[in-house]
């Protein structure tokens, strides 16, 4: 399978084209009835079949053995057009600069009769990027089209096409291809290619294709390469770097805490990551199922997860988790009915919020959390069997007995904690750049300046939370928001070193030896060259 799937399986006839039935029906009817317009414009996002359709039309117009509007694929015209070697089909990509220069000249040749074919066909991809002079050249032909000339234009951005051009084209909007159609096509292709696959792997890939069959097939190429010749859900997941459960937990936390603003921000972030909302909703349902199970049978989870799940189940009881699960699954079912997946997804989460009783967002529930946590910690200990667990458990105990216990009630206490206890890595950078906000009901709140937002990753935050728990409070929850973050340890350190440098500079200026150098030899102090030696 050396040829990329998208190229190898590019549809060659109207019948093979999937997902654009409305356009195909209109076009084939026009071809059968011989009412062929002189200019078409296909709009739609990438990879939905615009140029594929244009080539099929070019073949259908020049084919000598049409089969119900479908090109035969065997005559000279069909074969040459498929190979891109048919002189009367001129295919241009307005997005590539190399072609723009001669575009105008080419368009001016439109008046000449076709050399071999019946029609001279101009296929112009990303037509909105044509230069003004090229548009004018095209417009001349569009206004008084010779019988033998056809234009098939394609664009992802029809709004940038001049209205004079738009008004002379028959416009078709190609839709994003539905997930099940992409999945079905993948299934068919893999079947014919003799590649093993599992259905959940394909489902995931088709969701990630985001309506583009071409993108879907190149993902499929990748999946086959990474999966050692087969498509299997776990390797697909790791390939896509699919939405980590921690992200889904963060979503659920915001829902339970009824933090709508932050929720919307996180949803934007998910969109930016390119994750499929349908998939995230599935993961949400899966998480809720796990939480439900956890509240009845909290065994068989690793320590980090126990902690995270406890945070969640202490704030939403079993009954509500059931309800949220139901909202998630019904929401998934109704997602195709929403104007966009994002809108549908946001509504599902807001519905979850609306159905949660208000007490879950009050401080009452937060104060409930502490006893639950305290009960859970000793409960963990007997379960600890591995030696690594014992070592990990001992650390916080030692520090509690030892001195070093630090209060965290103010920003300056926070800074001393960071400088004394957070020694390395990204957690240190995160801590040094965070400003203390508040510490109530077992939640330590920090703010982080927007320019350090990249530090706000779960693994760094969790690391920092572990350190805080070791020294301050086992049940402490760390919450970091992007905000002011101006009064941080790092800023202090920078101010300190600036002060030190200023002092050093003053000392140097007053130094008798330096003074004499300046006076006797006309020297100057180059301020940027002064370094403190600390």
Distance CA 87, CA 144 (A): 23
CA angle (284 as vertex; 280, 289 as ends), nearest 5: 150
Which stretch in 77-85, 97-105, 108-116, 506-514 sits in contact with Zn ion by CB under 5 A? 77-85
- In the three-class reduction of DSSP (H, G, I as helix; E, B as strand; rest coil), residue 210 is classed as coil
Of 6, 58, 78, 427, the one binding Zn ion (CB under 5 A) is 78
Shortest Cβ 224–Zn ion spacing (Å): 32
CB 73 → Zn ion: shortest distance, Å?
A: 6
* One-character DSSP codes across 58-100: HHHHH-SS-BTTB--S-SHHHHHHHTT--TTEEEEETTSHHHH
CA dihedral 214, 216, 220, 223 (to 10 degrees): 130
Task: State the minimum distance, in angstroms, from the CB of residue 349 to Zn ion.
Answer: 53
Question: Of residues 161-180, which lie at the interface with Zn ion (CB under 5 A)?
Answer: none
Q: How far is the CB of 62 from Zn ion (least distance, A)?
A: 8
Three-class secondary structure of residue 453 per DSSP: helix
Burial class of 224 by CB neighbour count within 10 A (0 to 12, 13 to 18, 19+): buried
Helices 458-471 and 411-421 cross at an angle (nearest 10°) of: 100
Instruction: From 486, 476, 478, select the one nearest 434 (Cα to Cα).
Output: 486
Nearer to Zn ion, 116 or 199 (CB): 116
Query: Which part of the chain contacts Zn ion (CB under 5 A), choosing from 28-36, 65-73, 290-298, 311-319?
Result: 65-73
Shortest reach from residue 57's CB to Zn ion, in Å: 13
Interface region with Zn ion, contact rule CB under 5 A, candidates 69-77, 142-150, 237-245, 326-334? 69-77
* Residue 403, helix vs strand vs coil: coil
- Give me the least distance between CB of 72 and Zn ion, in Å please: 4
Nearer residue to Zn ion within complex by CB, 54 or 63: 63
CB of residue 350 vs Zn ion: minimum separation in angstroms?
A: 54
The contact pattern for Zn ion, residues 372-391, with x = CB under 5 A and - = no contact, is: --------------------
- The nearer residue to Zn ion, 78 or 349, going by C-beta atoms, is 78
Q: Whose Cβ is closer to Zn ion: residue 91's or residue 203's?
A: 91
Cα–Cα distances (Å) from 159 to 9, 21, 51, 138, 156, in that order, read: 31, 24, 19, 18, 9
Residue 15 CB, nearest distance to Zn ion (Å)?
14
Place of tokens 């003074």: 515
Residue 44 DSSP one-character state? -
Residue among 65 and 530 whose Cβ is closer to Zn ion: 65
30 binds Zn ion (CB under 5 A): no
Which CB sits closer to Zn ion, 63 or 223?
63
Give whichever of 75 and 260 is closer to Zn ion, judged by the CB atom: 75
Q: What is the bridge-based pairing of β-strands 89-93 and 120-125?
A: parallel
Count of alpha carbons within 13 Å of 248, Cβ hemisphere only? 24
Q: Which of residues 44-63 bind Zn ion (CB under 5 A)?
A: 63
Mapped to the 3 state alphabet, what secondary structure does 220-255 carry? HHHHHHHCCCCECHHHHHHHHCCCCHHHHHHHHHHH
Of positions 4, 18, 36, 72, contacts Zn ion by CB under 5 A: 72
75 contacts Zn ion (rule: CB under 5 A): yes
CB of 195 to Zn ion, least distance (A): 31
4 is written with which tokens? 């990329």
Closest distance to Zn ion from the beta carbon of 36 (Å): 16
Which is closer to Zn ion, CB of 71 or CB of 344? 71
Q: Which is nearer to Zn ion, 78 or 179 (CB)?
A: 78
> Which CB sits closer to Zn ion, 71 or 331?
71
Give the residue with the Cβ less far from Zn ion, 82 or 413. Answer: 82
Size of the site for Zn ion (CB under 5 A): 5
| Min separation Cβ 339 and Zn ion, Å | 41
Alpha-carbon 88 to chain mean position: 42
Cβ-contact 158, 41 below 8 angstroms: yes
The angle formed by the CA atoms of residues 142, 147 and 148, to the nearest 5 degrees, is: 95
Whether the CB-CB separation of 211 and 277 falls below 8 Å is answered with no
Binders in 455-484 for Zn ion, by CB under 5 A: none
Out of 71, 216, 331, 344, name the contact with Zn ion by CB under 5 A: 71
Closest CB 39 distance from Zn ion, rounded Å: 23
CA distance 371 to 281: 32
Check binding of 90 to Zn ion (CB under 5 A).
Answer: no
Residues 311-330 touching Zn ion, rule: CB under 5 A, are none
Residues that bind Zn ion (CB under 5 A): 63, 71-72, 75, 78
């Amino acid at each position: 399978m050396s040829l990329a799937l998208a190229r190898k399986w590019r549809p060659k006839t109207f019948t093979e084209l999937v997902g654009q039935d409305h356009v195909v029906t209109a076009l084939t009817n026009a071809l059968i009835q011989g009412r062929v317009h002189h200019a078409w414009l296909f709009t739609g996002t990438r990879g939905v079949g615009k140029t594929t359709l244009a080539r099929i039309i070019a073949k259908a117009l020049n084919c000598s053995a049409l089969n119900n509007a479908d090109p035969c694929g065997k005559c000279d015209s069909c074969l040459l057009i498929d190979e891109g070697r048919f002189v009367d089909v001129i295919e241009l990509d307005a997005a590539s600069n190399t072609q723009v220069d001669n575009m105008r000249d080419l368009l001016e040749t439109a008046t000449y009769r076709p050399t071999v074919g019946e029609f001279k066909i101009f296929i112009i991809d990303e037509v909105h990027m044509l230069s003004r002079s090229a548009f004018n050249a095209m417009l001349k032909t569009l206004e008084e089209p010779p019988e033998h000339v056809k234009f098939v234009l394609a664009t992802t951005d029809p709004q940038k096409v001049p209205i004079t051009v738009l008004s002379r084209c028959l416009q078709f909007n190609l839709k994003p291809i539905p997930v099940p159609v992409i999945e079905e096509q993948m299934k068919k292709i893999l079947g014919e290619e003799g590649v093993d696959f599992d259905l959940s792997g394909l489902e995931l890939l088709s969701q990630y294709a985001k309506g583009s069959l071409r993108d879907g097939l190149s993902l499929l190429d990748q999946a086959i390469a990474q999966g050692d010749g087969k498509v299997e859900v776990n390797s697909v997941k790791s390939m896509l770097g699919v939405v980590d459960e921690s992200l889904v937990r963060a979503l659920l936390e915001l829902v339970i805490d009824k933090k709508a603003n932050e929720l919307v921000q996180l949803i934007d972030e998910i969109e930016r990551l390119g994750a499929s909302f349908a998939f995230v909703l599935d993961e949400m349902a899966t998480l809720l199922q796990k939480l439900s199970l956890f509240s009845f049978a909290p065994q068989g989870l690793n320590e980090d997860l126990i902690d995270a799940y406890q945070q969640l189940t202490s704030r939403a009881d079993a009954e509500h988790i059931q309800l949220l699960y139901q909202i998630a699954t019904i929401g998934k079912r109704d997602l195709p009915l929403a104007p966009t997946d994002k809108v549908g997804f946001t509504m599902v989460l807001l519905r979850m919020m609306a159905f949660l009783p208000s007490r879950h967002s009050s401080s009452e529930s937060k104060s409930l959390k502490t006893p639950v946590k305290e009960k859970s910690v000793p409960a963990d200990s007997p379960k600890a069997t591995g030696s690594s667990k014992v070592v990990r458990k001992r650390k916080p105990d030692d520090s509690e007995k030892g001195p070093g216990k630090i209060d965290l009630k103010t920003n300056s206490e926070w800074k001393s904690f960071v400088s004394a206890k957070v020694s390395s890595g990204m957690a240190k950078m995160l801590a040094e750049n965070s400003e203390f906000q508040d510490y109530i009901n077992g939640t330590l709140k920090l703010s982080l300046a927007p320019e350090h937002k990249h530090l706000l990753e779960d693994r760094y935050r969790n690391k920092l939370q572990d350190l805080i728990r070791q020294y301050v409070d086992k049940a402490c929850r760390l919450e970091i928001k992007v905000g002011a973050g101006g009064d941080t340890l790092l800023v202090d350190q920078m101010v300190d070193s600036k002060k030190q440098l200023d002092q050093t500079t003053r000392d140097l200026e007053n130094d008798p030896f330096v003074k004499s150098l300046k006076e006797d030899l006309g020297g100057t102090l180059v301020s940027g060259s002064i370094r403190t030696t600390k």
